[in-house]
Structures are given as C-alpha cells and as structure tokens.
Amino acid sequence: MMTLRAALCATLLSVCATSAFAGNPNVGGAPMFENKNIIQNAVNSKDHTTLVAAVKAAGLVDTLQTPGPFTVLAPVNKAFTALPAGTVDNLLKPQNKATLVKVLTCHVIPAKALSSAIKKMVNDDGGVHVVETVGGCQLKLSLKGNKVRITDENGGVARVTIADVKQSNGVIHVIDKVLLPKS
C-alpha cells in the first residue's frame, strides 16, 4: 500500500515531468520537451530518422543547437520516401553536401513562428504570406481551412500535420512533404 508521502512524491514527479512539455504534442511517439533544443528532441522521433540523418550528413547539428530562434518545417520519413527513387541516397553522398544543405536550410525560417502568428500573417497579407528561409528559398504560406500549407519554389505543397512543437530554440512544425528549392 502506497503511503501518503510516496503518493505525494509520485504526483509531484508526474507534474514536474509533464510541465516540461505541457501543451507540446508527442512527435513520432516521443514526448517533445520545451526545455530541449530542436536536435535534442528530433533525435527521439521515430518519424524523423531520415531528417536527422540528413541533418547530420549536412553538418547542421551544431547550427540547430544554437539559441536560434528557428522555425523548422520537419518532413516525416514518408515525405522523403515519396521523393523519386534514389534521391535521398544521392543527397546523402559527401559530394552532394552543398545540395543537401540547400534543401535542408529551405526548411528553416530564422524566427520562431507559432501557427497563430503564421495564420495572422497569412490573413493580414490577403491569403498568402511569403517568407524567406535560411537557405534563401521563398516559401508561400497559406491556409486551407484552419491548417497551414507551405508551397515551395517549384509549386510543391506541404501541409502542417503537427503544429507548434515548442523547443528551447524555436518551434517545429511537422510537415508531410519535402520542400525543394528552385532547380
């Protein structure tokens, strides 16, 4: 039988553990902690193993651990497998590092943009808000219903499937497509 002291300790531990990611959704089956940075959280998501491998291959781990702030549009593994056969393997080759860096940095906005701010910008701009990424890509943000959509420079459209995953150095929005720079 649990003592009152043990029950109180268990409750306090639960509250403390929960408060570290209160309001943050799980991503890829893992809790996302607001007090951890983008890399510390992303490595725990089983839905982002390809993205994490690509970030490591591109040498962007240290950058995404800095204070930022960053908004990362994080494609799930299925988004990478939807690319033409061999694309990911080709991008991960050392001789293609510059192209990989360009693709990945086109998923990073140099600001912390929660979905409420994005929706306001889209509405204030008459339905489409253009944003420049760290990689120099111009993305068009829009809404379909209440969901944020992102159109890349080639007309490819990704939708945010999990919004507002708060990080110590920004925010992650999980997306269902890989955004590609103008070819």
Domain span including residue 91: 23-175
Q: Distance between CA atoms of 87 and 85, rounded to whole angstroms?
A: 6
13 lies in a domain?
no
Average pLDDT over residues 164-179: 96
Q: What is the pTM of this model?
A: 0.85
Asked if residue 16 belongs to a domain, the reply is no
Answer yes or no: are the C-beta atoms of 137 and 182 closer than 8 Å.
Answer: yes
As a whole number of angstroms, the distance between CA 122 and CA 129 comes to 5
Which are the contacts of 111, defined by CB distance < 8 A and separation ≥ 6? Answer: 69, 70, 71
Of the two residues 73 and 3, the one the predictor is more confident about is 73
Task: Note the pLDDT of residue 23.
Answer: 74
In a domain, 33, yes or no: yes
Mean pLDDT of 156-168: 96
Residues 25-84 pLDDT 10s = 889 989 999 999 999 999 999 999 999 999 999 999 999 999 999 999 999 999 999 999
Structure-model confidence comparison of residues 176 and 12, the more confident one: 176
pLDDT at residue 6 above 60?
Answer: no
* Span of 2-16, 49-63, 110-124 with lowest mean pLDDT: 2-16
Measured at the CA of 160, the angle between CA 156 and CA 164, to 5 degrees, comes to 145
Residue 148 and residue 173 in contact, taking contact as beta carbons nearer than 8 Å: yes
| pLDDT of 9 above 50 | no
User: Chain centroid to CA 139: how far?
Assistant: 15
Stretch 72-100: mean pLDDT:
95
User: What total number of domains does the chain contain?
Assistant: 1
Indicate which CATH number applies to the domain containing 41: 2.30.180.10
| 114 falls within a domain | yes
**According to the model, what pLDDT value does residue 29 have?**
87
Neighbours of 62 (CB within 10 A): 8
Backbone angles phi, psi at 124, to 5 degrees: -65, -30
69 part of a folded domain: yes
Query: Does some domain include residue 180?
Result: no
Say how far apart CA 95 and CA 74 lie, in whole Å.
24
- Alpha carbons within 13 angstroms on the beta-carbon side of residue 135 total 25
